[in-house]
Amino acid sequence: MPRSLAIGLIAFGLALVPHFAAAGDALQVTNARVPASDEIGVNLPLLMTIRNEATEADAILRVRCPFANFSERHTVDRGEGAPAMREVRSIPIPQGQTTDLKREGYHVMLLQTRQKLVDGEKFTCVVVFQKAGTRETEVQVTRTP
């Protein structure tokens, strides 16, 4: 490979590094919460607010929480008849907007809880975004999600 081409590729690669770092910093997860539960083995919604100030859209790909065996990304379909929850591959996070994950829209369902969840407890869950990468997020257990 000619030296000038190699230098050009390295310079191009270095120019991209700040962009990806800035994109990750431009995404904030706040107000993550899950309802309290006196039962073990139940399914509970994980709700949160995500502000995406990046120059491109992102998406939630996975969520892992220490108190649940699995998680699924859901939306509520309001087609014919009563609203129905359905699984989706990812949850879109539009650029330049705030997205609220809530029971009647997009949300993450935590499946098969491993323990009782007491009001006031806090846990750290991991949210994996397509572009912003992995985010550790504090989740509050609350009686009023």
The structural domain count of the chain equals 1
Structure tokens at 93: 């996070």
pLDDT at 50 over 50: yes
Contact 17, 36 (CB under 8 A): no
| CA distance from start to end of the chain | 58
Contact 106, 50 (CB under 8 A): no
* Cα(132)–Cα(134) distance, integer angstroms: 7
In this structure, what CATH number is given to the domain that contains residue 23? Answer: 2.60.40.1890
Structure tokens at 3: 């030296």
pLDDT digits (tens, 9 = 90+) for 126-136: 999 999 999 99
Residue with tokens 């997860």: 29
Domain range spanning residue 22? 3-142
Question: What's the confidence (pLDDT) of residue 78?
Answer: 77
